[in-house]
Amino acid sequence: MGNNLKMSWGKRVIWLSIGASVITLVLKFGAYILTGSVGLLSDAAESVVNLTTAIIALIALQVASRPADADHAYGHEKAEYFSSGVEGTLILVAAVGIVWVSWERFLHPADLKNLDIGIIVALIASAINFVVARVLLKAARDHDSITLEADAKHLLTDVWTSVSVVAALIIVNLSHWQILDPIAAVAIALNIIWAGIDLLRRSMQGLMDYALPPNELTQIQKILERYQSQFSSYHALRTRKSGSQRFIDLHLLVPGGMTVQASHDLCEAIEADIRTTLGTASITMHVEPVEDLAAWETSEKSR
Share of the chain above pLDDT 70, in %: 81
Mean pLDDT in residue range 256-260: 91
- What digits encode the pLDDT tens for the residues 106-129? 766 666 777 788 888 888 988 998
Check pLDDT > 70 for residue 189. Answer: yes
- Is residue 181 within 8 A of residue 105, CB to CB? The reply is yes
pLDDT of 69: 67
Per the CATH hierarchy, to which homologous superfamily does domain 214-301 belong?
Answer: Cation efflux protein, cytoplasmic domain (3.30.70.1350)
- Cα–Cα distance between 189 and 179 in angstroms, integer? 16
Determine which helix (DSSP H) or strand (DSSP E) holds 213, and give its type and residue range: none
- Is residue 147 within 8 A of residue 83, CB to CB? The reply is yes
Check pLDDT > 50 for residue 1. Answer: no
- What digits encode the pLDDT tens for the residues 209-247? 777 888 999 999 999 999 988 888 898 898 987 666 788
- Is residue 216 within 8 A of residue 278, CB to CB? The reply is yes
Residue boundaries of the structural domains of the chain: 2-207, 214-301
Annotation: CATH topology of 2-207: Alpha-lytic protease prodomain-like (1.20.1510)
pLDDT of 301: 46
- Is residue 176 within 8 A of residue 58, CB to CB? The reply is no
Mean pLDDT in residue range 129-136: 88
